[in-house]
């Protein structure tokens, strides 16, 4: 392994990780100190079987329940793409730890390399589809910022290199590995300032929204039951 790759895999990643952690700490401090939470005094309403605690737990879990929200229930392909994309994120992040810190494990389990390659390739393809949707759909274009395009593009390319580097095989050259780790480092530095850090906010928004909706008996979501359909004779 070259010194450059050694540096990219370890020191560079560690510095980038520390940077990200520091920025996130400051970010969380900003959110919790700068913005006090509004106190809710109202008594509970609605279904007595639910409460604020159930509400926020349900709210946190809602992303894993595609049958709950109409927006995911009626768009199974979009939801499937979301799942593939985010599995790709988890796998690509895990890869950045496995390769430098547990290369033996990867070598001893060739299926793992294949799994990394398959999931990151699938995520990359979803990234391409998402990018096409964002560029071609008028409504999506209207709500997109340069950060939205760049973040999606960054992740999609990163998935590609994560797939190529997935087996940690430098026999054909270190190019893929080097690119993957430099991109990972850039990703870590850029993320706290971009929309990609939405995972930091997800627990916060979902906690408060779920707590309130739980208190008011709206969470768990009370879905539609089938409606009456009038017959031809009516």
Partner 1 sequence: MSTQTRSHKATKVLERLTKKVNRQIAGTMLACVHCGQCTDSCHYVQTNPGDETFIPAWKADRVRKLFKRHMDWTGRVIPWWVKASSVYTDEELEELRDIVFGKCTNCRRCSINCPMGVDFASMNRMARGLLVSVGIMPEGVSVVSKDQWEIGNQMGVLKEDYLDTLEWMEEELQEELEDPTLKIPVDKEDCEIVYTINPREAKYDPRSISDAAKIFHVAGESWTMPSEGWDMTNFGLFSGDDDLGGAVAKRVYEAVERLNGKTLVMSECGHGYRSTRCEGPNWSQTDLSFKAESSVDTMLRYIKERRIKVDKSKNDFSVTFHDSCNNARSCGLFEEPRELLRLVVADFREMYPNRAENYCCTGGGGAMSMSEYTPQRLKSAKVKADQLIATGADKVVTSCHNCVDGLNDCIKHYKVGMEVTQLVNLVADALIIEPAKTTVVVEEVPAAASAPVVEEKAAAAARPLTGRKILVIDDEPDVCTFLSTVLEDNGAQVLTAADGDTGLALARSEKPDLVTLDLNMPGKDGGQVYEAMRADDELKELNVVIVSGKPELRGLIYDKDVRKPEGYLDKPVSEETLLTSVRKILEVGEDNVN
CB of 123 to partner 1, least distance (A): 16
What's the rounded Cα separation, in Å, for the pair 78 and 75?
5
CB of 160 to partner 1, least distance (A): 21
Among 83, 121, 131, 147, interactor with partner 1 by CB under 8 A: 147
Q: Is 77 in the site for partner 1 (CB under 8 A)?
A: no
Q: Is 137 in the site for partner 1 (CB under 8 A)?
A: yes
In the bound state with partner 1, the residue whose beta carbon lies nearer, of 154 and 213, is 213
Q: Is 64 in the site for partner 1 (CB under 8 A)?
A: no
Among 157, 182, 186, 218, interactor with partner 1 by CB under 8 A: 218
> Hunting for tokens 């916060």 — which residue is that?
204
On whether the CB atoms of residues 121 and 83 are closer than 8 A, the answer is no
Considering only the C-alpha atoms of the chain, give the largest distance between any 2 of them, rounded to a whole number of Å. 81
Q: Is 35 in the site for partner 1 (CB under 8 A)?
A: yes
Q: Is 136 in the site for partner 1 (CB under 8 A)?
A: no
- Among 114-122, 168-176, 179-187, 202-210, the segment contacting partner 1 (CB under 8 A): 202-210
In the bound state with partner 1, the residue whose beta carbon lies nearer, of 6 and 145, is 145
What's the rounded Cα separation, in Å, for the pair 171 and 130?
33
> Hunting for tokens 């004779």 — which residue is that?
233
- Among 43-51, 92-100, 118-126, 181-189, the segment contacting partner 1 (CB under 8 A): 43-51
- For residue 182, the surrounding DSSP H or E stretch is helix 175-190
What's the rounded Cα separation, in Å, for the pair 177 and 169?
8
Helix 146-164 and helix 110-136, axial crossing angle in degrees, nearest 10: 160
Q: Which two tokens stand for residue 199?
A: 């995972």
Which is nearest to 188 in space by CA: 84, 93, 73?
93
Quickly count: other Cβ atoms within 10 Å of residue 153's Cβ.
15
Among 104, 172, 173, 226, interactor with partner 1 by CB under 8 A: 226
Binding residues for partner 1, rule: CB under 8 A, are 31-32, 34-43, 45-47, 59, 62-63, 69-72, 74-75, 78, 82, 137-148, 193-195, 198, 201-202, 204-206, 208-210, 212-213, 216-218, 221-230, 234
């Amino acid at each position: 392994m070259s010194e450059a790759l050694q540096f990219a895999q370890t020191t560079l990643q560690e510095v980038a990780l520390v940077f990200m952690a520091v920025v996130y700490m400051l970010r969380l401090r900003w959110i919790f100190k700068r913005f006090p939470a509004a106190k809710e005094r109202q008594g509970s309403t609605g279904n007595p079987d639910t409460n604020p605690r159930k509400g926020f737990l349900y709210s946190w879990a809602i992303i894993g329940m595609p049958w709950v929200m109409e927006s995911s229930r009626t768009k199974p392909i979009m939801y499937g793409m979301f799942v593939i994309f985010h599995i790709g994120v988890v796998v690509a992040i895990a890869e950045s730890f496995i390769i430098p810190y547990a290369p033996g494990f990867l070598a001893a389990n060739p299926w793992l390399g294949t799994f990394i390659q398959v999931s990151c390739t699938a995520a990359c393809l979803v990234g391409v589809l998402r990018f096409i949707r964002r560029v071609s759909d008028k409504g999506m274009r209207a709500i997109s910022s340069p950060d939205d395009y760049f973040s999606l593009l960054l992740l999609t390319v990163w998935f590609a290199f994560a797939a190529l580097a997935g087996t940690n095989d430098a026999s054909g050259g270190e190019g893929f590995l080097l690119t993957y780790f430099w991109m990972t480092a850039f990703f870590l530095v850029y993320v706290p300032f971009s929309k990609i850090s939405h995972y930091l906010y997800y627990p916060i928004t979902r906690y408060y929204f779920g707590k309130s909706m739980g208190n008011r008996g709206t969470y768990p979501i009370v879905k539609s039951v089938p409606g009456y359909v009038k017959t031809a004779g009516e």
